[in-house]
Copies of this chain bind each other. A is one copy, B any other.
Amino acid sequence: MSDERPKRAAGLSAGAGCPVPLSDYPHVLLAHGGGGKLTQRLIEQLLVPSFDNPALRELHDGAVLDIGGTKIAFSTDSFVVKPLFFPGGDIGSLAVHGTVNDLAMCGARPLALSAALILEEGLPMEDLRRIVASMRSAAAVCGVPIVTGDTKVVDRGKGDGVFVNVTGVGEVPAGITISPARAAPGDVVLVSGEIAVHGIAIMSVREGLRFETELVSDTAPLHGLVEALLSVAGDAVHVLRDPTRGGVASALNEIAVQAKVGIRLVEREIPVDEAVRGACEILGLDALYVANEGKLLALVAPEAADQALAALRGHPLGAKAARIGDVVAARPGKVTMRSRVGGERIVDLLTGEQLPRIC
């Protein structure tokens, strides 16, 4: 790995406010897919400038297009999770939920999905059947049809069982504009439940950890929860984000940078299940950076915050929703957190790879 490090040391040449140029990495690293700083750089220094257009510059979970006067959300996600089957789900249901959630984070009602499979030669047909059945079942529960697809096969050793791409279109109701750029000082930060569950469920399987109660992924479709939230808080909902790869910390950092606001968290308000907290300690992980697949963050105007929180708590997927912080004008682009013992620290993006192939 030694020749894969950047040619210059990050701290020397770049300084805190000046990221290491992408050109210093001659090869793609696993960390470029980890959801942290390197992923951000790959997106901001290579992909966004290349494909430059207004929809992409929004850096949202999906794009919103105007088609014949209807606002259509459009979002894509490829899934490479390892293992393919894990407590609480598999790559099939995860892929359906993931894209349904990306549409929901645009405020959209999902209308249709595509499914594209890249199979590795030698994959047991029975595994494929299970994954396809799981996709079907997840799509049926979501009430969204899978209307088109594609299947490719690559040689043995050139894939890893199955990779799944699910892309979706959805309709954004009139009067709803959800965008990271709308985060404004005074907004309240809500989370819909206990964090870090998916990442820890996957890591427990990989590491062969056993707990008294099995840790099960939180993978779930969130469009119903969003609908409940929007029905009471409407346009007061400024930003929605499902904190998947890179967790709550990375999602909030992205929003802080895009909206040029500060975000202040209060550690003791952030709901974390005891078993997950214990597993994080054993695995040396910070729950704030661990992936969720059935939770959302909502940044809501202060006057609607109580109603919004009540709406989340009134839905089965939001029963443990909590208010975890607020948006401020100070320290734009930064996320800070008041710790349990009272100090305040910066919650930065991670540079390295915390949890590869978590989704």
Contacts and interface: CB of A to CB of B under 8 A. Distances in A.
Interface stretch (A154-162, A281-289, A305-313, A318-326): A154-162
Interface in A134-175: 135-136, 139, 145-155, 157-160, 163, 165, 167, 169, 171
B30 A155 contact: yes
Given A27-B123, A75-B114, A80-B154, 16 more contacts: A28-B124, A30-B153, A47-B132, A51-B139, A51-B147, A53-B145, A55-B112, A56-B149, A62-B148, A63-B147, A65-B111, A67-B68, A74-B147, A75-B148, A76-B165, A152-B357
Interface string A257-288: 00000000000000000000000000000000
Nearest to A60: B148
A51 B125 contact: no
B165 A78 contact: yes
Given A28-B121, A75-B148, A51 B171 contact: no
B56 A147 contact: yes
A46 interface: yes
A120 interface: yes
Contact of A76 (B119, B128, B150): B150
A60 B255 CA distance: 40
A324 B148 CA distance: 29
Contact of A55 (B51, B121, B145): B145
A205 interface: no
B78 A118 contact: yes
Nearest to A126: B26
A271 to B, nearest CB: 28
A50 interface: yes
Contacts of A123: 27-28
Pick from A25, A114, A159, A160 the residue with the most CB of B within 10 Å: A114
A210 interface: no
A76 B114 contact: yes
Contacts of A55: 112, 145, 147-148
Contacts of A30: 121, 153, 155
Pick from A70, A119, A124 the residue with the most CB of B within 10 Å: A119
A32 interface: yes
A358 to B, nearest CB: 10
A125 B33 CA distance: 14
A81 to B, nearest CB: 9
A125 B157 CA distance: 22
A340 interface: no
Pick from A68, A78, A79 the residue with the most CB of B within 10 Å: A78
Contacts of A356: 153, 155
A69 interface: yes
A163 B165 CA distance: 11
A176 interface: no
